[in-house]
Amino acid sequence: KQWYQRRVRAKVKTKHDGEKKALFAEYCRYFKQWYLYLQEGFNIVLYGVGSKRRLLIAFAKKMLKYDYHMFINGYFPNLTVKDILNNITNDLLGSSATFRSTTDQLQYVKNSKHNHIFLLLNNIDGANLRNDKAQQVLAELAAIPHVHVIATIDHINAPLLWDEYKCKLFNWLWSDCTTYSPYTDETSIESSLMVKQSGAIALSSMTHVLRSLTPNARGIFKLLATFQQDSGPDFQGITFQDFYIKCREQFLVNSDATLRTQLTEFKDHMLIKTRSVDGAEVLYIPVEHQILQQFLESDF
């Protein structure tokens, strides 16, 4: 399917190819200047109409041949900030250690002996990175003196991801790199938001509904989400009685009637479902394992 799409696109004549090439060549002249800014402690964000992925690749090929660098596609549907940290610590830095938290990983990167680490993040405003926790971790990563970030944004509201504190950590220099290039790679993934309802939309919907509920209701749902996540991708569900015991242990409910009422509300909002497993009715959250992980990492 993708091969056929590329073949069709190759036959389509686009307008203003000459002007687009001239724009690209003009931006390439900034590479040495960008590299200097990165070395001086700034991070760079590229904005403007059109895909800037090819520009990042060209920058890496020309300027980062002898530097540790990593290219990150922020538009990947299942990408999490934990994946980014794992790639840095495991692949770039060669660590085989097990980290208990993102804080430990950030500290490991901070204490690493590498002089410079360059991160090229295409779509730092990707759907799965548009949460406060992910952006906070990325900001703290960018604030490490020997870590240098050059990122792109495409969403018109992307700057709203960063409050004053995050902006201070990122220490951005903004560069208008309007390329007018099509978002071919960014929209080629089969589970793209432009093709069908993806996990990002499910995550956004789930978060929106939960914010309208009481803190106690959110606590009950988080308890179920955490248990399902800890049980792994093969989780089938938990019986009402077992879940009631867990809720009682956390002082979230004082009777089974209270829990049943809350579960009914969850079902009305399509947050949870029930199914029969070995003759018993069990509760579960109908989202993928990775989406649930992103939910638990978000500040809902």
In terms of Cα–Cα distance, which of 110, 108, 134 is closest to 121? 134
Bridge partners, residue 45, by sequence: 151, 174
Given this model, what pLDDT does residue 283 score? 94
Lowest mean pLDDT among 143-152, 264-273, 276-285: 264-273
Q: Is 67 helix (H, G, I), strand (E, B) or coil?
A: coil
Instruction: Please check the confidence at residue 201 and state whether its pLDDT lies above 80.
Output: no
Percentage with pLDDT > 90 across the chain: 46
Phi/psi for 278 (5° steps) reads 55, 40
pLDDT, tens digit, 9 for 90 and up, residues 98-120: 888 889 999 999 998 778 999 99
Q: Which residues, including other chains, have CB under 8 Å from residue 169's CB and lie 6 or more apart?
A: 139, 140, 142, 143
Instruction: Please check the confidence at residue 131 and state whether its pLDDT lies above 50.
Output: yes
Instruction: Please check the confidence at residue 193 and state whether its pLDDT lies above 60.
Output: no
Q: Rounded distance, CA 109 to CA 140, Å?
A: 11
Q: How many CB atoms lie within 10 A of CB 272?
A: 21
Q: What CA–CA distances, in Å, run from 120 to 44, 95, 251?
A: 10, 21, 45
Q: Judging by DSSP bridges, how do beta strands 280-284 and 238-239 pair with one another?
A: antiparallel
Going by the DSSP 8-state scheme, the letter that residue 90 receives in this structure is I
Given this model, what pLDDT does residue 77 score? 73
How would you label 178-192 residue by residue, b for 16+ Cβ within 10 Å and e otherwise?
Answer: ebebebeebeebeeb
Q: Is 41 helix (H, G, I), strand (E, B) or coil?
A: coil
Residue 148 identity (one-letter amino acid): H
Instruction: Please check the confidence at residue 172 and state whether its pLDDT lies above 90.
Output: yes
Q: Which residues, including other chains, have CB under 8 Å from residue 9's CB and lie 6 or more apart?
A: 184
Instruction: Please check the confidence at residue 206 and state whether its pLDDT lies above 60.
Output: yes
pLDDT, tens digit, 9 for 90 and up, residues 68-82: 888 888 888 778 888
Q: Rounded distance, CA 282 to CA 108, Å?
A: 41
Given this model, what pLDDT does residue 194 score? 37
Question: 119, 69 in Cβ contact below 8 A?
Answer: yes
The number of angstroms, rounded, from the C-alpha of 262 to the middle of its chain's C-alpha atoms is 30
Q: Is 130 helix (H, G, I), strand (E, B) or coil?
A: coil
Given this model, what pLDDT does residue 182 score? 84
Lowest mean pLDDT among 31-40, 189-198, 264-273, 285-294: 189-198
Q: How many helices (H) and strands (E) does the chain have?
A: 13, 8
pLDDT, tens digit, 9 for 90 and up, residues 6-37: 555 555 556 778 888 999 999 999 999 999 99
Q: Rounded distance, CA 183 to CA 244, Å?
A: 48
Band (192; pLDDT cuts 50, 70, 90):
very low
More confident residue, 295 or 135: 135
Question: 290, 78 in Cβ contact below 8 A?
Answer: yes
Q: Judging by DSSP bridges, how do beta strands 238-239 and 68-73 pair with one another?
A: unpaired
Across the beta sheet with 280-284, the strand order is 238-239, 280-284, 273-277
Q: What mean pLDDT is predicted for residues 169-192?
A: 81
Instruction: Please check the confidence at residue 238 and state whether its pLDDT lies above 50.
Output: yes
Q: Distance from first CA to last CA of the chain, Å, rounded?
A: 37
Residue that the structure tokens 């989406």 belong to = 291
Question: 138, 89 in Cβ contact below 8 A?
Answer: no
Band (247; pLDDT cuts 50, 70, 90):
very high
